[in-house]
Structure 1
Amino acid sequence: MANLTTRGIKAACAGKHDDGSGLRLVKASPTSGKWVFRYSHLGKRREMGLGSWPEVGLATARKERDRWAAELRSGKDPIDLRDALRRAEREARDKHDPTFAELAQMVFEAKKAELRGDGDRGRWFSPLRVHVIPKIGRICISQLTAQDIRDAMSSIWQTKPPTAEKAWQRTRLVLREGKLMGFECDPFTADAAQRLLGTVSHTTQHIHATPWQDMPALYARLDSGSPAHECLRFMMLTLVRYMGCAGARANEVDGDVWTVPAERVKGQEGRAKDFRVPLPVTARKIVDDGKEVWGDLLFPGRSGAPITSRAIEKALDSIGEAGRPHGFRASFRTWVQDTDACDYDVAETILGHTVGNRVERTYARSDLLERRRPVMDSWERHVTGCADNVVKIKAG
C-alpha cells in the first residue's frame, strides 16, 4: 500500500520517506529531493535513481518503479539494464551526430597514415586538444554554431595568432571531413566564425638566423667537444634539420655520403624519401670522432637517446648566441644570394626543398649530388675558416 501523497510530500520535512515496493523519496530540503528505487538482485542491495523531485512527480516515479520492478522479476538487474540501454542510445547517436571531440578524434585517426609519427611528431592534434575541445568538445556536431567556435578561440585570436590560425584550420578540416563522412556539419561554420573573430594584425616573426658573415665566429665558439656543440657544428656544415642531425648514426655514412633515412626527413608520411648529403672533410671528421667516442649514435643525450632540441638550444644560450639551429639554413641561403655561390636548384636541393612542379619532378629525378659537393666544400671553408678547424671531441 502506498504511503505517500502529493500533498504529504510537500509538507514532509527533510529525510527519507518510503512509498512502498522499494520506492523512496530522499528530501534534501523542503523544496528539493530525489527518487530512489531500492531493490535486491542476486543477494546484493542496490539503489537506482529515478529522477529529482519535484521535477519528477509521485505518479511518474511510481510508473518508473513499476517498470524496473518488472525487469527485476524477469531476472535482470535494473541498473545494469539501464546502463546498457544508455550506451546503446549513445552509440546510435554517435553514428549520426557525434560530438565535436568525437568527430575530431575520428578525423585524426583517419589522417594518421599521412602524418609523420602518427601525428605525434608534429603535434597535429595539439591545437584542438588544448584550445578547442575543452570549450566545444561536448557539443554535438549538428548543434555546433559559428558563435561556439568564435567563443572557443576568442581568448587566443589576438594574443596568439599563429596558434589560433592552426586551431582554426584544424577545426575547419574536422568540419570538412565530417561533412564528407556524411555528418550534419559544414566547414562554412568555421568560415563564419573567422569573420566573427575579426581580422588580426600580426607580423610573422622568423626564426632568428645568425648572419652568414658571423658563422665562422660562432663555429669557433662551439669548441667544448660536447655532443651539443658537435651536433651544432654538424648542422652548420650539413644544413640538415635538427631531426636528421640529432639521430645521425655512423652506419648511415658511406665514404663521404651521409644518407638521412626517410623517417627523419621532413615531409608527409609515405612521401618523404632518403636524402643523400655530401659530407665535406670537417663533417666527416666529426663523424669519425663521434663514432670513436660515443659509438654508432653520434650525438647522444644524457639518457643515451638522441640529443634533444632543448639541449641544443641551451648550448647556444650558454654562449650568448641568439641565432637558432634552424636559422643556419637561412644563413646559408643568404650566403648563396650574396655571393652567387650556386644555382637556385642546387641551393634548394642542398636544403632538401622540393624543386619544380609534379610533372617536372617526374622527369628530373637527379638529387644533384655531384653539383652539391663543391658548394658544400665552399660553405665548409667559409664556416670553419680553414679545412683543419676541427676540435677533438671530448668524452663525457
Structure 2
Amino acid sequence: MQRLHAQGWPRPVKRDGRLADARKQADKHRATVKDGGNSIEACKDAEKATQIAYEAKNPEARKARLLATIAPLAFEARKSQLRDGGKAGRWFSPLKTHVLPKLGQKPVEEVTGNEIAKALRPIWHEQPDVARKAITRLDACLSFARAKGYEVDRMAVADAKELLGRQVHVAKPIPSMSWQDVPAFYQSLEESGTTGMALQLLILSGLRSKPIRFANLDQIEGDVWTVPAYLVKGQEGRTEDFRVPPTPEALRVIKRATETARDGLLFPDQRKGVISDMTMATLMKRRGMTARPHGFRSSFRTWADEQTNQSWEVKETAIGHKVGSKVSRAYLRTDYLEERRLLAERWAQHVIGASGEVVAIRGAAV
C-alpha cells in the first residue's frame, strides 16, 4: 500500500466529524421535507431558538441588537455630515419622539414594514414633514445595522410606505409681509432694543436668521461683511463664505448695535450667547402679526422682481441661493457683489421710506 501511495495513488479520504455532521443535517432536512415540512423555516426556527437561549444567558447580546441601541450609533456615524455636528438635535429628534418609543425595544432584524407603518400612521398625514424625516432616518439606522452584519429586512421601509399610502400635503410657505408694508414695520423697530436692531439688519440684508444672530464685528471689514461658511445654510463641509454688501443704512444699524455688543457679538443674549432663534419671531407674534422673520426674504425677492430690472442671477445670489448647474458654478468666478450692492442700496432706500418708484439699476439686463 505504501508503495502505491509513493507511485502517486491518492490516499483514502478520512471522514472527519464535520462531514459526518453535514450528512446528519442533510438526512434531517430530507426527513423534514418528506414529512411535508419546510427545511428552511425549520433552520430559521432552530437558529432563533439557539439565539434566544444564548441571549437568556447573555442579556447584553440582545441589547446590542435593539433599535434603541443601534439608532444612537447610526447618529454618531453621521455627525460629521450634520451642521454643527448634530448639536441642535434635529436629526435624532423625529426618531426619539415618534419611532423609538414604539420600536426601540425590538431587535433590528424584527423591524418590519407592518411595525413601521403602525408606529408612524398617527402622524403620516397629520404631520407629513415630521413623518418623512422619521422614516428616512429610520431607514438610515437600518442601513447602519445591515452594515454591521445584522440581517435586516431591506424592504421594510418601502413596505411601510406602501402600507401608509401616498402623503397628500400642500406645503405652506412661511408667512411674509407685503413689500409695500415693510417700511412702516422697519421704522417701528427703532425703539425695540437688540431684537429690533437684529430684525432691521435681517430685513436690509436678506439673510436668514442664523447669520444675523451670530453677526460679529470681526466679520465686517470696510464695506464687505463676510458670513462664515459655518453660518451659511447647507450640508456640513459643503458651504462657502458668503459676502454681503452692507448699505449705509445697514452700517448705521450695526454701529448702534455695537453699543450693546458683547465679545464682538452684535446681538448677545441678556445672560449668555446670542439671541435665540425664536426671539425675533416672538416680537412679531406679540404684535399680532402673522408674518415671520424668514418671510422678509420673500418680501425683498418679490420687490426686486416687481420694482427693478436686475438680472435673475443677481437677485437669487442676493438671498444666498446658488444659481446655475454644478458644472456652470465650477466656472463661475463672481458673486455679483457690486451688482448686489446697488440692489441692496435701492432696497434700503425703499425700506427707510426714501423711494417708492420703479428702479432701473445701472448695468442690469433690461
Name the TM-score, length of structure 1 as normaliser: 0.71
- Does the aligned pair in 1 maintain the 2:94–2:133 contact within 8 Å? yes
Which of 344, 362, 366 is the aligned partner of 2:334? 366
Q: Which residue of 1 aligns with 2:286?
A: 318
- Does the aligned pair in 1 maintain the 2:226–2:242 contact within 8 Å? yes
- Report how far residue 186 of structure 1 moved: 3.9
- Does the aligned pair in 1 maintain the 2:145–2:152 contact within 8 Å? yes
Q: Which residue of 2 aligns with 1:275?
A: 242
- Identify the structure with bigger relative contact order (alpha carbons < 8 Å, sequence gap 6+): 2
Amino acid at match of 1:168: I
1:347 lines up with 2:334 in the alignment: no
Q: Deviations over 1:61-83 (max 9, x none)?
A: xxxxxxxxxxxxxxxxxxxxxxx
- Report how far residue 291 of structure 1 moved: 1.1
Aligned residues: 301
- Report how far residue 282 of structure 1 moved: 0.7
Distance 1:370 1:223 in 2: 28
More helix as a share of residues: 2
Which of 142, 160, 167 is the aligned partner of 2:109? 142
- Does the aligned pair in 2 maintain the 1:176–1:186 contact within 8 Å? no
Distance 2:288 2:255 in 1: 29
Amino acid at match of 1:346: V
Relative distance call for 1:91 and 1:125 in structure 2 (3 A) is same
More strand as a share of residues: 1
Q: Deviations over 1:211-256 (max 9, x none)?
A: 1121112112212140011000000001111110011112211111
- Does the aligned pair in 1 maintain the 2:265–2:274 contact within 8 Å? yes
Distance 1:288 1:341 in 2: 31
Q: Which residue of 1 aligns with 2:29?
A: none
Q: Which residue of 2 aligns with 1:265?
A: 232
1:114 lines up with 2:77 in the alignment: no
Distance 1:365 1:112 in 2: 32
1:288 lines up with 2:259 in the alignment: no
- Report how far residue 88 of structure 1 moved: 9.1
- Report how far residue 335 of structure 1 moved: 1.5
Distance 1:200 1:241 in 2: 29
Report 1:41-190 matches (<5 A).
Answer: 89=58, 98-121=65-88, 123-190=90-157
Distance 1:242 1:88 in 2: 54
- Does the aligned pair in 1 maintain the 2:269–2:275 contact within 8 Å? yes
Deviating beyond 6 angstroms after TM superposition, the runs of 4 or more aligned structure 1 residues are: 85-88
Which of 340, 354, 359 is the aligned partner of 1:386? 354
Q: Which residue of 2 aligns with 1:336?
A: 304
Question: Structure 1 stretches of 5 or more lacking a match?
Answer: 1-84, 388-396
1:238 lines up with 2:218 in the alignment: no
Distance 2:241 2:343 in 1: 21
Distance 1:87 1:232 in 2: 60
Distance 1:332 1:263 in 2: 24
Aligned residue for 1:276, secondary structure, equals strand
Relative distance call for 1:305 and 1:190 in structure 2 (3 A) is same
Question: Structure 2 stretches of 5 or more lacking a match?
Answer: 1-53, 356-366
Aligned residue for 1:147, secondary structure, equals helix
Aligned residue for 1:212, secondary structure, equals coil
Q: Which residue of 2 aligns with 1:304?
A: 272
Percent identical: 38
Aligned residue for 1:213, secondary structure, equals coil
Q: Which residue of 2 aligns with 1:390?
A: none
- Does the aligned pair in 1 maintain the 2:68–2:100 contact within 8 Å? yes
Q: Which residue of 1 aligns with 2:7?
A: none
1:204 lines up with 2:171 in the alignment: yes
Amino acid at match of 2:94: P
Q: Which residue of 2 aligns with 1:12?
A: none
Which of 194, 203, 219 is the aligned partner of 1:252? 219
1:357 lines up with 2:355 in the alignment: no
Q: Which residue of 1 aligns with 2:186?
A: 219
- Does the aligned pair in 2 maintain the 1:246–1:299 contact within 8 Å? yes
Q: Deviations over 1:310-352 (max 9, x none)?
A: 2211211233322111111111111222224421111111111
Which of 376, 382, 389 is the aligned partner of 2:344? 376
